[in-house]
Chains A and B, each alone.
Chain A
């Protein structure tokens, strides 16, 4: 077990930010913490890192209780935050070198690792640049290099892709996968379900400081009743016809808005065929048709009754 969070409670005055939070992260996982804004992801991370005192519960990292002075544990953790945390006065190289030197004493080793980290984020051409001269995407990469330069066994990323352009975002996600392949265990928080789905091998969905569901993405999707979402563009369907569709076998719900007919159906085969057959036989003309498997948003929606992103 790399991280074990057990019954964690954290209050800010009257506000309960973490409400008996439980989860476990195993070695080699990319563990995703998915939850809307204000659900307590950052608070949980800060507690794990012993940056924050909590009211109840326990946290173990690498099998030992975590605390502010557990330097042996801290030595093996890398942190990447939402905000870029580098010195404006130091070059790319010097920044990475400095953060590495907080973890490693041997000067030669520090320089070796620094060069490796620069290669990893592909900033070789910018080693002598000051952060002010870097573009937003490059700056993010520097930020990541500073967090992983000491080759930590556990890397914690707290929304590292907020306000990042799609190209850089993909680079970052690929990088995380690569670090994982090299042996690091990853904890990744985000409120972007697409990202979480894309890279995480295990996911905990949290809301209001509690884990509402956890498992692999297949397991999570298996938990809910929706099997398929069908969207059909049509301009001339009547209320009665919608009623008819609703009564069809396996259809869970139907909405019709802006000429888009959205049908959620349960698990099973031939859901789409059945609907299209009805449309054709009733001479309802239609445009684009597509179907989707349920997303984590659907999981979140079904469990909590609200959207992940509002």
Chain B
């Protein structure tokens, strides 16, 4: 395991900068997250959540009852009917939530089909957004239960039932048990999104430079004349990379977990951890690729800065994805960082862990793994080229 050991000896030389980046990242992230956190708390306490409701299903008894019910939790805001105006309203926090009732919603819902309400949210306001989510979920769940137990019913009966049994539980749920996990998830979402950025910077810098040292033309010539097989060599390198990445990421995650004042080791947190490991794999592949294709140490510095800023910005790590223009989003969707953030945001806004809600998250992870596969293919091509030119 000579190569494995030497990998870490070389890595040790970059430890200081890794350490400083880590500290800086954690300090900034915690500062920002706590700020958001505090704002959220205040607003939640004083006012109802401003939302924009777009009803494409026409007026009917069921929808009307639903809208009336929601009024207990939200304040309806009017926004000019254009895509741009709606984006602006979200951006300037005029509304936190845009809820669209799709055409045919009532009919399908009442006939017992699964149907999803479309939403756009302001991720800075995760807590109020989630309270709206659970208010909606609770109402619809109650309605569903009613439908399931009463095969023959009139809409009037249903709405009566719903208004007779005001879903007061919602309030309680939001205030007590739910509230805790809402806050915790919001915190995690910010922390993990920023962590994506720090992973890109640190992995490219460290893995990139170490791989470059170990793969330099002259060094690799020396290694290929030695009695260590190239398979054994690569195995040691890959193992070393994985050990490093897992260790570094684990430290960041543990700090994030401990820093979260409302920490709870729930399923959502687990999902974010899994997502961050998936993204770490992608970042590792990018760094590895850079390490074996770049020859200049200074170029790696520049590249790590440029790539991390680009990936982080376009992927929505700094500025929430909802606020990015549609053109940016289009570009972003060609980047793994976008899918990492998207998965995180989706996990952060989960109100229950039904398979229907989880499926998109796993899809986003699968897309990231797809990116990793592409980078691995590129690594194999570059490595082969290098072997042929090894002289």
A residues sitting closer than 8 Å to B (CB atoms) are: 42-43, 46, 49, 51-52, 68-69, 71-72, 74-75, 77, 79, 81, 83-90, 94, 98-99, 101-103, 146-147
Contact = CB atoms under 8 A, between A and B. Distances in A.
Contacts of A69: 229
Majority secondary structure of chain B interface residues (helix, strand, loop or mixed): helix
Nearest to B231: A69
Given A81-B221, A90-B9, 20 more contacts: A42-B391, A43-B391, A51-B221, A51-B390, A52-B391, A68-B224, A72-B227, A74-B226, A79-B225, A81-B218, A84-B218, A85-B216, A85-B221, A87-B6, A89-B213, A90-B6, A94-B9, A99-B222, A99-B226, A102-B228
Interface in B206-227: 213, 216-219, 221-227
10 contacts: A49-B225, A51-B225, A51-B391, A74-B226, A81-B221, A102-B2, A102-B223, A102-B226, A103-B227, A146-B222
Nearest to B218: A85
Contact of B9 (A49, A86, A89): A89
A55 to B, nearest CB: 15
Nearest to A77: B225
Given A51-B224, A85-B219, A99-B222, A90 B10 contact: yes
A46 to B, nearest CB: 4
A101 B6 CA distance: 10
A94 B213 CA distance: 14
Contacts of A68: 224
A71 B390 CA distance: 19
Interface string B228-245: 110000000000000000
Contacts, number: 64
B13 interface: yes
A50 to B, nearest CB: 8
A6 B2 CA distance: 36
Contacts of B228: 71, 102
Given A51-B390, A90-B9, A85 B227 contact: no
A85 B226 contact: no
A98 B218 contact: no
B231 to A, nearest CB: 10
Given A42-B391, A79-B222, A81-B221, A102 B10 contact: no
Contacts of A101: 2
Shortest beta-carbon contacts, A-B, top 10: A85-B218, A71-B227, A102-B226, A101-B2, A89-B10, A89-B13, A74-B227, A46-B391, A75-B227, A83-B218
